[in-house]
Amino acid sequence: MAFKKKKKTDPVYAFLENSPAVSVRDREGALNYLVSFVNLLRPKPSDTAEQTDQNFSTVIRLLYQFPSSLNALRTAMIAQLVNSNLVPMFTESGITVSRGVGRELYARLKHKFLPALQDHNDFLYLLDRIFYKKADYVWVESIPRERWIQFFELIKLPLSSNEPVIINQAMVSLQILGAGVAQLGWEKEIITNTNVKWMQAENPFETQQFLIYELRELMINEAPVEQIKSLSIRIREVLKEARQLVDGIRSSTNEKGTSLSQTFILFQIEQKLTRMELLLDIVDGDEHINTTRFVDLFHSVVRYENRKNSLREFLSQTTGYVAYQIAEHKGKKGGKYITSSPKEYWAMMVSAMFGGLIIVFVAILKTLLHHLPLAPFWQGFVYSVNYSVGFIAIEETKSTLATKQPAFTASAVASSLDTKKDEKPNLYNLAVTVSKVFRSQTASFIGNLIIVFPVTYIMAWLFDICFGHPLVGREEGIQMLQDQHPWQSLSLLYACNTGVFLFISGIIAGYVQNKMNYGKIERRLVEHPVLRLYFAPKRLQHIASYLNHHAGSLVGNISLGFFLGTAAIIGKIFGVPFDIRHITISAANTSLGLYGVGWESINGRFVLTVVIGVLFIGFLNFLVSFSL
């Protein structure tokens, strides 16, 4: 007797084919239906994004095939919408509500250990039950927006005048958000950076609130639909003006700088304006809702509920614009390190040669300072001052140091990809920028090294002639060479440390320059009551102008000098292998070591290995700094 193999039934197909009847009045039953439906949509851990998209497309196709299942799904969603409190979802979920960064961080940290109590009538409680896995937002966002738009347009949720319960809650939410925008619009950080034309005319932050209350009165008095539509159009125009004002403040931060407080407020205003535009779609009296905005709301709410206590998520969002301003300063500075023509290429090489010459004197002075009988702290301090003065000299003479480029050119490369939301990046522009950066970086490396290697050796020879003894003895020279050796020392690891320090010093430089601009330090110095007594007006203006344009670079160079100068001392204090390797300084030390040992006493293969190690040090300096 032959047995027929039982055909495997697709679980999604079976679920939709045998969907039970769902009632609007049975809220719990409808919720269980939605939980089961989302469980079918939720991909397996092994599923790729393409498989998740294909499975979702199959669900949409089957919903067309089974109208009863489509009706059951629609009814289950309506049951949650009309029987729940939607106001917290509209006004809080996905929107930062705390008035300060510290307060929001404290709230999230507190709720990580003891989650906030949720009202079971709150729609967000239902959402947490449906998307109960903390990583649900990942697969929800991996499905293309077009699929979600198709899905919700197929469901046809009654987010219109047919459901007065939803309309009333949307109107209340619109009032709450409008009041919040008006209040934030009068914060000091916004007023002081608002263009005069917005202050003289009707301020959109204030105007929108009055218009929303007017819209509420029309809806209470059951005014004609045409009148409600007309006022809704006017409110949209005012919200658009408010966005323009926010964009204007943001664009001015390139020159004026920004603060975390201002960034936080602008971020909140933008979030509220986006939500208000969706709510206007619901209350404006027509039967149409912008499905794209609704899908954006769906994405943001699911993500927020999954990540509402995530500290990383919050910091990433609110500090993004401050980080952008720092990177913007670095990107502008990075432009001077990118060559576009043969003339600029050779100019870069000459500039790097002058930078290499300064590093020669820094390396020789550091070797002399090493022989001073100083305590570890003071030895690290004098090393740091030596490095800082050298880096400042390179900056002031407009010379070039190869390793300082990546922290700035990386920002220039990133800005070549700057696009508006939902637009594809310009890969051709990226390719051109990367090729220019590579040529420029090569020119600066060559310029530094062709001076540092031979000139340091010549200076060591002249020192020997003038003072009758070598700058570096034989044993010290051997140690110097071994310190650069790629596997007889930890030089490559230390080169990565240097890359990190180069990156951090670039961030510090950008941060300080941003604070100089935002704090209007130049004008405050010029008008300082005490300084005006001791400096002539022109002299004081010159000092203030210099600091305004160079403070970031000065602080960045000093911080880099102290990072490099104290690294080895910190390693000794804590008894851990911690140090730095900087390509130009390593190249100079290699030359000093070679002179101290003598060519006749050294193995050629060993020298070649050390030279290759120095080149790898430079590569890791560049790679780590550029990547970060």
pLDDT confidence bin for 5, thresholds 50/70/90:
very low
Give the N- to C-terminal CA distance of the chain in Å, as an integer: 69
SS3 call for 307: helix
Q: Which of 461, 456, 463, 469 is nearest to 363 (CA)?
A: 456
Fill in the DSSP letter of residue 404.
G
SS3 call for 388: helix
> Are the CB atoms for 264 and 100 separated by under 8 Å?
yes
Specify the length of the chain in residues. Answer: 628
Close Cβ partners of 126 (under 8 Å, ≥ 6 residues apart): 31, 80, 84
Residue 122 β-bridge partners: 85
Looking at mean pLDDT, say which of 375-389, 441-455, 466-480 comes out highest.
Answer: 375-389
Close Cβ partners of 197 (under 8 Å, ≥ 6 residues apart): none
pLDDT of residue 429: 62
Looking at mean pLDDT, say which of 285-294, 357-366, 400-409, 541-550 comes out highest.
Answer: 357-366
Close Cβ partners of 163 (under 8 Å, ≥ 6 residues apart): 78, 81, 82
pLDDT confidence bin for 383, thresholds 50/70/90:
very high
Give the whole-number percent of the chain exceeding pLDDT 90.
Answer: 5
pLDDT of residue 516: 80
Q: Which of 24, 20, 124 is nearest to 74 (CA)?
A: 24
Rounded CA gap, 290 and 301, in Å? Answer: 17
Mean pLDDT of 341-346: 75
Amino acid letter at 28?
A: E
The residue assigned the tokens 């039970």 is 20
Per-residue pLDDT at 443 exceeds 80: no
Mean pLDDT of 249-259: 69
pLDDT of residue 562: 93
Per-residue pLDDT at 197 exceeds 70: no
Return the structure tokens found at 600.
Answer: 């006749």
Q: Which of 333, 597, 346, 576 is nearest to 447 (CA)?
A: 346
Close Cβ partners of 189 (under 8 Å, ≥ 6 residues apart): 259, 261, 262, 265
SS3 call for 85: strand
517 burial class (0-12, 13-18, 19+ CB within 10 angstroms)?
A: buried
Per-residue pLDDT at 172 exceeds 70: yes
pLDDT of residue 323: 59
Its pTM stands at 0.65
Return the structure tokens found at 448.
Answer: 């530094």
CA dihedral 347, 351, 352, 357 (to 10 degrees): 140
Fill in the DSSP letter of residue 221.
T
Strands (DSSP E) along 7-155, which ranges?
Answer: none
pLDDT of residue 327: 53
Close Cβ partners of 28 (under 8 Å, ≥ 6 residues apart): none
Greater pLDDT, 509 or 162: 509
Query: Does an H or E element contain 436, and which?
Result: helix 427-467
Greater pLDDT, 375 or 156: 375
Per-residue pLDDT at 487 exceeds 80: yes
Cα-only R_g, the chain: 32
SS3 call for 564: helix
pLDDT confidence bin for 525, thresholds 50/70/90:
confident
pLDDT of residue 258: 66
The packing angle between helices 491-518 and 604-627, to 10°, is: 30
> Are the CB atoms for 454 and 443 separated by under 8 Å?
no
pLDDT of residue 389: 93
The tens digit of pLDDT for each residue in 79-118 reads 888 888 888 888 887 776 555 566 767 777 776 677 776 7
> Are the CB atoms for 212 and 153 separated by under 8 Å?
no
Residue 85 β-bridge partners: 122
Per-residue pLDDT at 570 exceeds 70: yes
Looking at mean pLDDT, say which of 156-165, 287-296, 422-431, 581-590 comes out highest.
Answer: 581-590
Q: Which of 64-73, 124-133, 404-413, 558-567 has the lowest mean pLDDT?
A: 404-413
The tens digit of pLDDT for each residue in 38-75 reads 888 888 888 787 888 888 888 888 888 888 888 888 88
Return the structure tokens found at 145.
Answer: 């927006």
The dihedral sign for the CA sequence 447, 449, 450, 452: positive
Close Cβ partners of 543 (under 8 Å, ≥ 6 residues apart): 525, 535
Greater pLDDT, 11 or 521: 521
Q: How many CB atoms lie within 10 A of CB 575?
A: 7
Q: Please state, rounded to an integer, the average pLDDT across all residues of the chain.
A: 79
Rounded CA gap, 455 and 587, in Å? Answer: 11
Per-residue pLDDT at 538 exceeds 80: yes
pLDDT of residue 384: 92
Per-residue pLDDT at 573 exceeds 90: no
Q: In degrees, to the nearest 5, what angle opens at C-alpha 149 toward C-alphas 147 and 155?
A: 105
pLDDT of residue 420: 45
Q: In degrees, to the nearest 5, what angle opens at C-alpha 497 toward C-alphas 492 and 500?
A: 130
The tens digit of pLDDT for each residue in 113-133 reads 777 767 778 878 888 888 888
pLDDT of residue 421: 43
Rounded CA gap, 27 and 83, in Å? Answer: 7
The tens digit of pLDDT for each residue in 264-282 reads 788 888 889 988 888 888 8
> Are the CB atoms for 480 and 593 separated by under 8 Å?
yes
Mean pLDDT of 525-550: 85
pLDDT confidence bin for 159, thresholds 50/70/90:
low
> Are the CB atoms for 588 and 360 separated by under 8 Å?
yes
Close Cβ partners of 145 (under 8 Å, ≥ 6 residues apart): 292, 295
Amino acid letter at 162?
A: N
Q: Where are the alpha helices (DSSP H) in 114-259?
A: 123-130, 136-142, 145-155, 164-185, 188-191, 196-200, 204-220, 225-256
